[in-house]
Amino acid sequence: MIDKTRLGIPLFDDVFGGVYRNRQVLCCGRAGSGKSILGLHFIHQALVEGDRALLLSGYRAADALIVSESFGMPFADAVASGQLVLLEYASLITENASSHNILLPPQAFEELQETIESQSIRRVVLDTVLPWLAIQPISRLVQHLYSFVHALDRIGATVLLTLPKPVSNAAFLLKNKLDDLCPVSITLDHTNQADRVMRVSKYLGEIQNLSTPMPFAIHSGKGFVLPADQTSSPVPPPGPAASVGNRASTQPPAKPAAPASPKKPIAFSSVVRMPDQR
């Protein structure tokens, strides 16, 4: 029997029944769409279920605690008890790393894997996953992504990967290939911090509800909630969503893009913002 665990967002879990345990979930969206907050919900769900969790982000650990508290998810006790591990990218990335093409050193994954296995961690958030993937030249990208995702499979944890919105051919290639490898892919969007929607563009084994917009709001003290004027049922899409297999097409027809040049950087709408390391 396929084992699932809740994502931690009721509007998603009520429709899909959660995500696949010990597999990956990709969450993509532009700045301010709520990716990091979704990560907090994902961690909080682990704590509710009694699992150990790890959050790796660009936040300082102390700041991550403040942010989680502001959305009604106090993590300090979990950190104190060892149920939650908070890690900072600043401890893994050198100070002189390029802000537009940050790539972690090879030993960083070994250190992460050792932490996960030694502490029996069952949920991991990589917010953002970009520092593990922004590899050059682009010709090596597909093989690198395949190796990375299969390395995640071997650690035996359910992993949420957040990714900024791609804005270059190379970045779209990265995102699309990661889509292929992750069984669940979610996109968050918003208009001026309002009219927020979640779309599930891929859910392995599911052909219903894909790309159906799920409106939500983000409130202080609560995080993700349903908008005041919405019920628990997702709003039907304005028209039939084209789908192939178990993935919905969310991009409008466009002029074919020119092949990606290996000399151009992988550009996203936002990059990892490193804390001051002085």
Tell me what pLDDT residue 200 has.
96
Structure tokens at 51: 């699992």
pLDDT band at 273 (very low <50, low <70, confident <90, very high): very low
With a cut of 80, say whether residue 242 has pLDDT above it.
Answer: no
CATH tag, 4-248: 3.40.50.300
Percentage of the residues of the chain whose pLDDT score is greater than 70? 78
Identity at 104, one-letter amino acid code: L
Burial class, 227, CB count within 10 angstroms (exposed 0-12 / middle 13-18 / buried 19+): middle
Least confident of 25-29, 40-44, 81-85, 168-172: 168-172
Residues 148-160: tens digit of each pLDDT: 999 999 999 999 9
C-alpha distances (whole Å) from 225 to each of 11, 27, 134, 230 are 8, 17, 33, 10
Least confident of 48-57, 83-92, 196-205, 268-277: 268-277
Tell me what pLDDT residue 90 has.
83
Structure tokens at 145: 């992504």
pLDDT band at 224 (very low <50, low <70, confident <90, very high): very high
With a cut of 70, say whether residue 269 has pLDDT above it.
Answer: no
With a cut of 80, say whether residue 233 has pLDDT above it.
Answer: no
Q: What is the DSSP letter of 261?
A: P
Least confident of 82-91, 110-119, 195-204, 264-273: 264-273
Distance (Å, whole) CA 60 – CA 96: 18
Residue of 59 and 84 predicted with greater confidence: 84
Residues 161-180: tens digit of each pLDDT: 999 999 989 899 999 999 99
3-state class of 15 per DSSP? helix
| Sequence ranges of the domains in the chain | 4-248
Number of helices followed by number of strands (H, E) in the chain = 8, 13
Tell me what pLDDT residue 260 has.
44
> Do 43 and 79 form a contact (C-beta atoms < 8 A)?
no
Structure tokens at 43: 């961690």
pLDDT band at 270 (very low <50, low <70, confident <90, very high): low
With a cut of 90, say whether residue 69 has pLDDT above it.
Answer: yes
Residue of 135 and 195 predicted with greater confidence: 195
With a cut of 60, say whether residue 245 has pLDDT above it.
Answer: no
Distance (Å, whole) CA 119 – CA 262: 39
Rounded to the nearest integer, the mean pLDDT of the chain is 83
Tell me what pLDDT residue 9 has.
97
